[in-house]
Amino acid sequence: MIFVLTLLPTNATFRSAAESIEIDDDVRVHHLVPRFRETHPIPVILVHSLLSKWYVFDLHPNRSLAAYLRDNGFDVWCVDWGKPEGSRPTPGFSAYVQNWLDSVVDVVTAGSGADRVTMFGYSLGGVLSTMYTALAPDRVQNLVTLTTPVDFSETGINVLYARAFPAETMVDFWGNIPAWWLKSATLWGTMARARGLWKSFGSELSTPVGRSVVAEVMRWTFDNVPLAGEMFRRLMRDCYRENLLIEDRFTIGGEIVRLSNISASLLTISAADDDLCPRAAAEALNHAVSSEDETAIMVPGSHLGAVIGQEAHHLLWTRVADWLSRRSGHQPAAMYGIDDAI
């Protein structure tokens, strides 16, 4: 039943109203239209993983972290990496972090008038956000990582998988790692890891709104994109096998990514049933940074359920919004009950 729902046509109206700004070729940043005239001074940049599409942050009105933050007075921007193809066949970390992510920050600061931003990264997007913050600490006020591994030696069986994958041979053969291969390699593990998420769908299938939510979640789950070959090569070799990031030996464009350079307020979030990123793999960041203001929390759920599960609104989003509101400048007038809606 759940899989049949993915055959339903996509309802484009589920996406929040946003302005899309081109960064380079297929890379874009989507700026959600603010709900209020005044927002928190520090804008929030949501950075998704490279294995799937950006709208994990804006799946459905009932499953939209981006809209939730917008409705709580934040200026929200979503990075859209597009697909690694065409004029950028196999980009690496330098392209994603030093070029595109830095250009996104340029666009966001110019558009908002802020000098600093909040980087909010999910999964591999959190790795990129962490690397950017280490290389450009003066541009980041707050860093939030959601189910993001930093100490890859703590990722359990995933380290064994990385050692078994002939990454170099695969990249030499394919260039970019095909979406179908990534899905086939992770599908059943994803289903098993998110067993609580799938179980919760049962109660939602009884209503039209619930069925539309489940359909969008399932559609996103199967809406994968290729992974850039150079990213796959270095992830397997330098992160999972050699664990260079936590040891301050990972380099991007000739620069060493030193986690101790990070002084931004830090919030790391792990999920109790996440074996892609166990708690120790995520919270290693708290011990590596120089931040005087650092917090680590763990929420129930899986790697995916933590961001789009039925209880995400109650278990996580409210805590994130509260944490950010105290670190993002003055409270907008709307937060005091004043009618400031646009």
CATH number at residue 95: 3.40.50.1820
Residue pair 240/152 in contact by the 8 Å Cβ criterion: yes
Q: What are 249-302's pLDDT values in tens digits?
A: 999 999 999 999 999 999 999 999 888 899 999 999 999 999 999 999 999 888
How far apart (Å, rounded) are the C-alpha atoms in residues 236 and 75? 35
- What is the per-residue pLDDT for 134? 98
How far apart (Å, rounded) are the C-alpha atoms in residues 101 and 306? 24
User: What is the pLDDT of the chain when averaged over all its residues?
Assistant: 86
Beta bridge partners of residue 142, listed in sequence order: 118, 265
- What is the per-residue pLDDT for 330? 77
- What is the per-residue pLDDT for 327? 97
pTM, two decimal places:
0.89
Continuous segment of H or E residues that includes residue 134 = helix 124-135
Residue 186 banded pLDDT, cuts 50, 70, 90 = low
pLDDT > 70 fraction of the chain, expressed in percent and rounded? 83
Residue 6 banded pLDDT, cuts 50, 70, 90 = very low
Residue 167 banded pLDDT, cuts 50, 70, 90 = confident
Segment 68-90 shows an average pLDDT of 86
Taking the CB of residue 329, how many other CB atoms lie within 10 A of it?
14
75 in any annotated domain: yes
Q: What are 20-43's pLDDT values in tens digits?
A: 999 998 899 999 999 888 999 999
More confident residue, 232 or 89: 232
289 in any annotated domain: yes
Q: What are 221-260's pLDDT values in tens digits?
A: 778 889 999 999 999 999 999 999 999 999 999 999 999 9
Residue pair 270/277 in contact by the 8 Å Cβ criterion: yes
Quote the number of domains for the chain: 1
Residue whose structure tokens are 């459905």: 60
Residue 193 pLDDT > 70, yes or no? no
Which residue from 298, 324, 300 is spatially nearest to 310, judged by alpha carbons?
300
Residue 47 sits in which domain range? 4-336
342 in any annotated domain: no
Which residue from 66, 76, 15 is spatially nearest to 317, judged by alpha carbons?
66
Residue type, 294: E
Look up residue 112 and give its two tokens. 């908002």
Residue 217 banded pLDDT, cuts 50, 70, 90 = confident
Residue 199 banded pLDDT, cuts 50, 70, 90 = low
Look up residue 225 and give its two tokens. 């994109």
Segment 152-175 shows an average pLDDT of 85
341 in any annotated domain: no
